[in-house]
């Protein structure tokens, strides 16, 4: 059901009714830069209880992870999903590092229904309407040769004070100025914008963190990488992101590591995820998913995904894993990572976000291999929590300083042998 | 075509199948039908968890393989304990590989509304706290990882073609979640047998 492409009318907004539940499908056309999200009416008679849906839709050469949910609550929104806000169905999706909320007003677009898109923080508050549909939004990102230089200049000069989206040119220029150490006025400009547009949302906090880092000479160049990463997802500017990553290496390890903000999805999997979507069962939802109060700063955690399992086996499983992982030991994979035979991108991590902002990994062995190599994940996909992942957190840790979730995990020989061989710690 | 999702009804037991070290095994006699089909696993009982052996400074013992099952006295309980589920008149069973790293089964495909401690979208910390609280108060684990699966007649997928129409009416489907695998069994019922407490797990 989650990936069904059939469409019908938009979600009802009758408060408290099963008909409120919206199922939304996403389609993505690789290469064309067009995304389309179509709301469907949830049919309680045939669909059963309302549930959380998430899914991965694969296009020709692009991927989009789409997550949405619906419930009977009328206030707030949940981490890793969405809900009803003021009686209106909303859903959150992750498009690379961008988070979108889908409005409930369908717009007819050539016979297909698309929805309004608004940038919204994790507290569910819409902070800026981008207007139009997702298609229109994506279309805005398509390069228009006639205005490209003008848009780049505007973005470079006005920075965060303009709604103009950064371009490769403006980002490249920003990095160049940063490397030369003459970008302090631009950093002060952006920081002043952030401080005068306080929103107490996750996104605002993330922006504040980046703009504060931007004040640091040389290291501050990583501020531009956030925009570069965003381009990578929205505009297929993967090469640009790679180049900016390389530039960050010049700024030292600290810069390189920070180029992939660990609490945001740093990348989409290099190969289409073979596994299907997660689910948040909910019938009947007893309350609206909790989120920080709107007057409380959304928590932000600067560290990478934590381990979310009591122990980890020393070898990868063989089912459904690429040859460079299947059946291999964590240590061997870590050695390949250290030697450069594997890249962190080849070990995608799926993680869900806790209410306090921390991420918890579901791929314990991959995270352990990266950690043993002294690397942080660069290929992180945010997923909703699953029943299984939360069950894992109910066990008691093996060692005193390895809470669940936590920054270290004991390696034990097998499912049947809990002897602690060694302890792997996040770098 | 839209279908009604199979509903999960959890077994009312004080433990859960250990999410990290279940060591789930299916034993199903091929020839001697007088022997029962059973599933064995390591169960975790938080109510008897006074701190894992490693966490309390005691050495974690070496367990090369899961020890042979020894039926325990009813009074013997520990945080980790071997459990066998004996299935009455089981006619078919299968073991499947986990759906993904984050889901043993495809959670989306099931209706979790009757699983008391299933997550329903609330604050995660609050969910974990309530799940533990419910467990402690009721003595029943709200999401044990063992379920009876209720399916509509037309949606039911027989695990085996040997199920006759008359037999099928009394059959129930059971689902047991491990870590890297899960087990499905069609049987008329299930009995729980406790084994020894596993120290050092």
Chain A residue with minimum CA distance to B199 = A418
Number of domains in chain A: 3
Shared domain check, A88 and A107: yes
pLDDT tens per residue across span A364-394: 889 988 988 888 898 888 888 899 999 999 8
Shared domain check, A427 and A310: yes
- B179/A415 CB distance under 8 A: yes
Task: Enumerate the residues of chain B whose CB falls inside 8 A of the CB of residue A290.
Answer: 122-123, 126
- Position with higher pLDDT, A102 vs A222: A222
pLDDT tier at B61 (50, 70, 90 boundaries)? very low
**What is the predicted pLDDT for the residue at B112?**
93
Shared domain check, A26 and A102: yes
DSSP state of B68: P
Q: Does residue A57 lie in a domain region?
A: yes
- Residue B105 pLDDT > 60: yes
What is the distance between the alpha carbons of residues A51 and A113, in angstroms, rounded to a whole number?
22
**Probe site for chain B from A47, A385, A391, A411 (most B CB atoms < 10 A):** A391
**What is the predicted pLDDT for the residue at A321?**
81
Q: Which of A397-411, B51-65, B78-92 has the highest mean pLDDT?
A: B78-92
Task: Enumerate the residues of chain B whose CB falls inside 8 A of the CB of residue A296.
Answer: none
ipTM for the complex?
Answer: 0.86
**What is the predicted pLDDT for the residue at B43?**
93
- A290/B122 CB distance under 8 A: yes
Write the DSSP string, B2-38: --PPPEEEE---S-EE-SS----EEE--SS-TTSPEE
**What is the predicted pLDDT for the residue at B32?**
61
- Position with higher pLDDT, A324 vs A183: A324
**Probe site for chain B from A326, A415, A420, A423 (most B CB atoms < 10 A):** A415
**What is the predicted pLDDT for the residue at A329?**
85
- Position with higher pLDDT, B179 vs A7: B179
Q: Domain range for residue B23?
A: 7-197
**What is the predicted pLDDT for the residue at A418?**
55
- A276/B200 CB distance under 8 A: no
Q: Does residue A289 lie in a domain region?
A: no
Q: Are B121 and A53 in contact (CB under 8 A)?
A: no
pLDDT tens per residue across span A68-126: 333 322 222 222 223 233 333 333 332 222 223 333 333 333 222 233 333 333 344 43
Number of domains in chain B: 1
Q: Does residue B73 lie in a domain region?
A: yes
- Residue A13 pLDDT > 90: no
For chain A, the average pLDDT equals: 53
Q: Does residue A328 lie in a domain region?
A: yes
Shared domain check, A22 and A81: yes
pLDDT tens per residue across span A277-296: 333 333 332 222 333 333 33
Q: Looking at the DSSP assignment, which residues form a beta bridge with residue A107?
A: A114
Q: Does residue B1 lie in a domain region?
A: no
Q: Does residue A180 lie in a domain region?
A: yes
**What is the predicted pLDDT for the residue at A356?**
84
- A71/B121 CB distance under 8 A: yes
**What is the predicted pLDDT for the residue at B89?**
87
Task: Enumerate the residues of chain A whose CB falls inside 8 A of the CB of residue B46.
Answer: 394, 396
- B101/A83 CB distance under 8 A: no
**What is the predicted pLDDT for the residue at B7?**
93
Q: Domain range for residue A58?
A: 18-140
- Interface size A-B, in CB pairs within 8 Å, comes to 203
- Residue A174 pLDDT > 70: yes
Alpha-carbon distance values, A404 to A79, A115, A158, A410, B177 (Å): 19, 39, 44, 12, 21
Q: Which of A43-57, A223-237, B67-81 has the highest mean pLDDT?
A: B67-81
Mean pLDDT over residues A1-30, rounded?
Answer: 27
Shared domain check, A321 and A242: no
- Position with higher pLDDT, A400 vs A194: A194
């Amino acid at each position: 059901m989650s990936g069904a492409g059939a469409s019908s009318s938009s979600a009802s907004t009758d408060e408290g009714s099963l008909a409120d539940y919206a199922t939304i499908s996403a389609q993505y056309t690789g290469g064309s830069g067009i995304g389309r999200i179509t709301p469907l009416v949830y049919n309680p008679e045939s669909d059963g209880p309302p549930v959380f849906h998430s899914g991965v839709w694969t296009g020709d050469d692009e991927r989009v992870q789409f997550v949405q949910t619906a419930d009977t609550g009328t206030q707030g929104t949940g981490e890793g999903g969405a809900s009803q806000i003021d009686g209106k169905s909303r859903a959150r999706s992750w498009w690379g590092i961008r988070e979108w909320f889908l409005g409930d007003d369908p717009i007819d677009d050539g016979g297909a229904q698309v929805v309004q898109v608004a940038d919204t923080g994790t507290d569910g508050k819409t902070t800026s309407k981008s207007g139009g549909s997702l298609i229109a939004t994506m279309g805005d990102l398509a390069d228009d040769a006639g205005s490209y230089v003008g848009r780049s200049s505007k973005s470079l000069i006005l920075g965060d004070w303009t709604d103009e989206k950064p371009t490769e040119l403006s980002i490249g220029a920003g990095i160049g100025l940063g490397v030369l150490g003459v970008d302090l006025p631009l950093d002060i400009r952006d920081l002043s914008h952030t401080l005068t547009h306080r929103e107490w949302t996750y996104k605002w906090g993330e922006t504040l963190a980046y703009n504060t880092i931007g004040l640091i000479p040389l290291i501050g160049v990583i501020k531009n990488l956030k925009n570069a990463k965003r381009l990578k997802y929205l505009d297929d500017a993967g090469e640009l992101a790679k180049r900016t990553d390389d530039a960050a290496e010049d700024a030292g390890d600290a810069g390189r590591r920070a180029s992939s903000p660990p609490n945001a999805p740093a990348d989409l999997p290099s190969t289409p995820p073979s596994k299907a979507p997660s689910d948040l069962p909910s019938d009947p939802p007893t309350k609206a998913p909790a989120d920080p109060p709107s007057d409380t700063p959304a928590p932000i955690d600067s560290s990478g995904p934590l381990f979310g399992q009591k122990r980890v086996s020393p070898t990868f499983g063989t089912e459904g894993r690429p040859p460079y992982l299947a059946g291999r030991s964590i240590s061997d994979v870590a050695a390949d990572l250290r030697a450069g035979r594997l890249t962190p991108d080849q070990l995608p991590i799926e993680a869900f976000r806790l209410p306090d902002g921390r991420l918890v990994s579901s791929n314990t062995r991959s995270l352990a291999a990266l950690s043993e190599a002294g690397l942080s994940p660069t290929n992180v996909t945010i997923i909703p929590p699953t029943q299984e992942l939360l069950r894992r957190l109910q066990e008691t840790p093996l060692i005193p300083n390895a809470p669940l979730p936590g920054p270290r995990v004991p390696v034990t020989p097998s499912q049947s042998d809990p002897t602690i061989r060694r302890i792997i710690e996040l770098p | 075509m839209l279908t009604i999702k199979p509903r999960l009804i959890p077994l009312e037991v004080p433990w859960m199948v250990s999410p990290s070290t279940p060591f789930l095994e299916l034993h199903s006699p091929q020839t001697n039908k007088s022997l029962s089909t059973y599933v064995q696993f390591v169960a975790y009982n938080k109510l008897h968890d006074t701190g894992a052996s490693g966490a309390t400074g005691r050495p974690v013992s070496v367990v090369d393989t899961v020890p042979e099952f020894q039926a325990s006295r009813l009074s013997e309980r520990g945080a980790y304990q071997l459990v066998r589920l004996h299935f009455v008149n089981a006619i078919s069973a299968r073991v499947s590989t986990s759906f993904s790293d984050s889901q043993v089964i495809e959670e989306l495909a099931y209706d979790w509304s009757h699983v008391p401690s299933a997550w329903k979208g609330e604050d995660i910390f609050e969910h974990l706290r309530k799940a533990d609280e419910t467990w402690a108060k009721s003595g029943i684990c709200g999401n044990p990882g063992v379920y009876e699966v209720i399916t509509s007649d037309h949606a039911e997928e027989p695990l085996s073609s040997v199920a006759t129409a008359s037999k099928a009416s009394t059959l129930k489907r059971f689902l047991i979640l491990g870590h890297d695998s899960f087990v499905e069994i069609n049987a008329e019922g299930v009995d729980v047998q406790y084994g020894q407490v596993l120290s050092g797990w």
